Amino acid sequence: EMLSERMAVLHAEQHHLQSAWARWRRLAWQHMEEAEKEEAGRHLYVHRLLSDAVAQWKSNSCKIRDRRDREQQACRHGDLSCVRWAVEKWKKFVQIQRKKRCKMKELHSYHEVRLLKRFFEAWKKHHILVTQVDEQADEVYSLKTRRFLRKVLNTWREKAALLGEAQVAEHRAQNHLQRSLQLKVFLTWREATAGAVLKQRQQREAVSQTQQVINQALLLHSFRHWRKRTREARRQRRNVERAAQHHNSKLVCKTLTAWNKFHQQQRRKKVMKRQGLLLLRLKVYQKFFELWKIKLQHRRREANQMERALWHWSLTLQAKVLCVWRLWVSEQRSSREQTARAAQVYRDQLLREGVSCIVTYDLTTSLPQFSQEQRSQHLQRVVKRCAMRWKQQALCKPPKEQQAQPPKKSVTFCLTEPAFGRVLTSDSEEQEDGALRRDSHQSPLVSTETYAADSTLENQNQDILLPPSAFMTSATQNKLDQSSSCSPEETLLTRFYHPTPPVNFHPSACPDSDMRTVRRASENPCVEDESALTRELLSIQQDMRSFQQSRKQLRAWRKLRNVLQSWLQTSAEAEQPETNAVGKELNELEERIKLLSTELDRRKPTMLLHAEKIQHLQSLLHASGVHSVRWE
């Protein structure tokens, strides 16, 4: 009976403990679920806040991009309007300068240089303003982002502090609830045990003592188990909190790095777009300039071929005229020799016959000579008229066409380094050729001055027709100069005109009489002196032409160097390979400029000696009284 009673008591106590433990576990599980739900709600709230902030940031960034695009479009429109205004002004200026081309060449070049300087300064100012606006926009955008990040971090800190305080309060409440439950259970158990002890105090003292010991052991065991569970729960909560903080910090870092990368990519794309537009403009300008250059070369070739054909025709006509004139001169010589022989034969008879016969004979001889001279002069005038009419028809246009012809349009292009050098060299060669032709017309040593003077007096509104000697080599000119020293009648003609053949001239085309005259004239020392003087003058002319070309090339290279330096200064933030390539080109250009400047300094005293020599020759010719002779 005692054992059964003890077993019943133990069973009841175990049943009460199990029910109390089940209640406690149920309540603890409910509290854990509520805490997890609260944490999930807070996490969702934080996620929604972050998503709203990111959406607002995206909308702000889109607005800023639209604003920047509009500003760029406005800047481009302003640039286009400036360019159009400059082009219109330039066109008006060109139209005004076409009317004053003969008198205002130097002013035209000076005005063009000033216009280019102003346009370049305006472009520089505009570029500086655009860069300043971009920098200000970037600074404002960075300030806004920093403020937004500070606000987000402050809110996150405050919410984290509030969450920590709430968790501490919940933990304290749970501990208090568990302790109160344990106290209630303990009090109920104590009352039950006290009642049982009071009822069976006398009989069950030993049982009560053993029961108390067992109860204490069970309580200690349960209390230790409860302490372990609470410690593990605390550790788990701390670990969860640390993991959540670490996860949030990682998310913030990832978002910041992604935003920085996106911002850098957008800036790189903008820079690449600008460089691409600039490169496209440069390529278009280069293509247009190459097409214009090819067309200009074709026109020059056609003009040169036309000029060569016309000169060839004029040379053939002059050769025919010279052949006719030489035949006439030979006939005149033969007639004079025959008349001289006849005069020697009949001199005695004429002296015998008297003064009347002499007078009649003089009249009969003077009349045919006078008629022959008149015929030769008439033939020369007819040839001259034919040549002048041919020149008018070939080189001059009628006044109606000149009036009706609209003014030609001129186009300017942004040149790169090689194209800019070529154009300057070609312009310098054309200017030097024109200057040399003017010198050849003005110098008293050139024999074609008289013909050019008459043609300019008669046809002032027509183009200048240069003599063939300006396009021939020195060897052929020397041969014909030597051949012209055969007779006094031929020397008079060769003073006015030197018909020299072109480069593809063959000696077989000349008659035998011309070759004989050339062989005879090689023995004349005066002609050799004249040919040596002409050779020396031609060499001086070539030296001065090359010196002028090198000077023009040096100026062009210096201008190109300034342009490259300005480009490097403006595009310092561009890509490294382009800047390195431009720097290498600039170094090579500086080396070329140094070499060319040293060469020019070396050749400068020789040019001064040539100029002094030409001035000395001109003074000697003026002192000797050699002037231009007109062809009557």
**Does the pLDDT at position 517 exceed 80?**
no
Whether 486 and 438 have beta carbons less than 8 Å apart is answered as no
Residue 49: phi and psi, rounded to 5, are -60, -45
Q: Residue 617 is inside which H or E element, if any?
A: helix 576-624
**Which whole number is the average pLDDT over 321-349?**
79
402 in a domain, yes or no? no
212 in a domain, yes or no? no
pLDDT at residue 483, as a whole number: 41
198 in a domain, yes or no? no
Chain-centroid distance of CA 179 in Å reads 87
**Does the pLDDT at position 125 exceed 60?**
yes
pLDDT at residue 478, as a whole number: 44
Rg (CA), the chain: 57
- Residue 26 structure tokens: 């149920």
Closest to 196 in 3D by CA, of 17, 13, 19, 1? 13
What is the rounded distance in angstroms from the CA atom of residue 191 to the CA atom of residue 170?
Answer: 31
Half-sphere exposure of 286 (CA within 13 A, CB side): 10
135 in a domain, yes or no? no
**Which whole number is the average pLDDT over 222-236?**
85
Q: For 406-437, give the secondary structure using H, E and C.
A: CCCCCCCCCCCHHHHHHHHHHHHHHHHHHHHH
Exposed, middle or buried, 585 (CB in 10 Å: 0-12/13-18/19+)?
A: middle
Percent of the chain with pLDDT over 90: 1
pLDDT at residue 595, as a whole number: 92
Neighbours of 233 (CB within 10 A): 14
306 in a domain, yes or no? no
Mean predicted lDDT score pLDDT of the chain: 71
Q: Among 201-215, 253-267, 368-382, 386-400, whose mean pLDDT is lowest? A: 386-400
620 in a domain, yes or no? yes
What is the rounded distance in angstroms from the CA atom of residue 303 to the CA atom of residue 309?
Answer: 10
Scan for tokens 């040549």, then name that residue: 387
Closest to 36 in 3D by CA, of 212, 255, 240? 240
**Which whole number is the average pLDDT over 349-362?**
55
**Does the pLDDT at position 417 exceed 50?**
no
Whether 495 and 445 have beta carbons less than 8 Å apart is answered as no
Q: State the total domains in the chain.
A: 1
Closest to 361 in 3D by CA, of 383, 379, 385, 345? 345
257 in a domain, yes or no? no
Which residue range is the domain that position 554 belongs to? 416-448+461-632
Q: For 59-73, give the secondary structure using H, E and C.
A: HHHHHHHHHHHHHHH
Whether 562 and 541 have beta carbons less than 8 Å apart is answered as no
What is the rounded distance in angstroms from the CA atom of residue 336 to the CA atom of residue 332?
Answer: 6
151 in a domain, yes or no? no
